[in-house]
Amino acid sequence: MKKSIVVLAAVVFAISAVAAFAATDALVGACIYKFDDTFMTGVRNAMRAEMERQGGELEIVDSQNRQPMQNDQVDAYISKGSNALIVNPVDRTAAEPLMNKAKAEGLPIVFINREPYAEVMNAYDKIWYVGAKAEESGTQSGQIIVDYFKSHPEADKNKDGKIQYIMLRSEQGHQDAVLRTEYSTQAMKDGGFEIVELGSDTANWDKVQATDKMKGFISAVGVDNIEAVLANNDDMALGAIEALKAEGYNLGDASKYVPVVGVDATAPALEAMSKGEMLGTVLNDADNQGFAAVKVAVIAADGGAVTEESIGYKITDGKYIWIPYRPVTVENYKEFMK
């Protein structure tokens, strides 16, 4: 009896020693381009959850969509002695000075969601990028429209064999906006459809701006002539749906429906899918992007080697962690609801 207690105590001690050893005391400083972004809020929550598991300290600040403010925030993290940085740049074309600040201190820096140019990524050895291949999401969202038109001949409302669509884009400098637009239209063509763009405009990833733009398109071309809406993200897709609902569309009457697809698989988008208001989306895996960014930052901060084994994610060219996208349709959307 006594002996087993001693053994048990030894085991408990050993386990807690391992746990104590495994926990990090790294201080990681993170900047998010703006807090008021649905998708990045998901990434932020995942980052916090991962750091909770790791035991270190994670500070996250809002760069309020201002690059100069973000540059100052990085300076502040450096002067307070942060051990690694995670940066979601406001402007991905302005990542170089941030890389240089980190490099001057030998600090690891992990960029997320907005990909710095290759020459910036190649100018330092303690730099990583965690994101997703925008091309994939474009192709998958276009494919959802193709599948819908193939299984619903009535979707071709004017019976001309072509898809008359609206494109809601985002800012020109963002790789996700440019590539999703390009690859989603390409997927419709590759699916065997001729396509006619009835309207295309930027709504800056934003739901309210998208509702406004969609109202403008509806009054310009007539809601009955719109056969599909593709949006670079879910917030803009949901904005377009608001405008359609205001016309009595996408409220359950099958003869008054416009298929709308987005990207992200945010909770409100999955909800809209469950109500039949939205056709589909593509999972932009906020959880795994957030987890991976923190794992890389902590291991690098602690001076460890960032490898596929140490982080548990595939690494390309030594510094890119690409988290796969997945199509989300009426068949599988429930899997993604939390």
Using CB under 5 A, count the residues that bind Ca ion.
5
Cα–Cα dist 64/66, whole Å:
5
Residue 160 lies near Ca ion (rule: CB under 5 A): yes
- For Ca ion, the closer of residues 162 and 326 by Cβ is 162
From 36-44, 76-84, 187-195, 268-276, give the range in contact with ligand BGC by CB under 6 A: 36-44
Q: Please identify which residue in 114, 133, 213, 319 interacts with ligand BGC, judged by CB under 6 A.
A: 114
Residues 71-83 as b/e (b if ≥16 CB within 10 A, e otherwise) read bebbeebbeeebb
* DSSP 3-state of 253: coil
Q: What residues numbered 55-94 form the site for ligand BGC, per CB under 6 A?
A: none
183 binding ligand BGC? (CB under 6 A): no
| Torsions phi, psi for 281 (to 5 deg) | -155, -170
Q: What are phi and psi of 199, to 5 degrees?
A: -175, 150
160 touches which of Ca ion, ligand BGC, none (CB within 5 to 8 A by kind)?
A: Ca ion
Q: Out of 284, 295, 319, 328, name the contact with ligand BGC by CB under 6 A.
A: 284
Judged by CB under 6 A, the stretch of 35-43, 48-56, 241-249, 317-325 that binds ligand BGC is: 35-43
Stretch that binds ligand BGC, among 32-40, 252-260, 301-309, 323-331 (CB under 6 A): 32-40
Q: How far is the CB of 140 from ligand BGC (least distance, A)?
A: 13
Q: According to the binding rule CB under 5 A, does residue 93 interact with Ca ion?
A: no
Report the alpha-carbon angle 277-148-152, nearest 5.
100
Query: Least distance to ligand BGC from the beta carbon of 251, Å?
Result: 25
Amino acid present at 215: K
Contact string 223-262 vs ligand BGC (x = CB under 6 A): ----------x-----------------------------
Question: Which neighbouring-strand residues pair with 28?
Answer: 58, 84
Q: How far is the CB of 158 from Ca ion (least distance, A)?
A: 5
Sole window of 37-45, 155-163, 246-254, 305-313 interacting with ligand BGC (rule: CB under 6 A): 37-45
| SS3 state at 68 | helix
The option from ligand BGC, Ca ion, none interacting with 107 (CB < 5 to 8 A, set by class) reads: none
DSSP string, 12-46: HHHHHHHHHHHS---EEEEEES-SS-HHHHHHHHH
Shortest distance in whole angstroms from residue 154 CB to Ca ion = 11
Residue 105: Cβ within 10 Å count:
14
Q: Which of 327, 288, 312 has its CA nearest to residue 139?
A: 327
Count Cβ atoms within 10 A of the Cβ of residue 154 and give its class: 0-12 exposed, 13-18 middle, 19 or more buried.
Answer: exposed
- Residue recorded with tokens 């009054």: 219
Q: Where along the sequence are the contacts to ligand BGC (CB under 6 A)?
A: 37, 39-40, 113-114, 176, 205, 233, 263-264, 284
Q: Where along the sequence are the contacts to Ca ion (CB under 5 A)?
A: 156, 158, 160, 162, 164
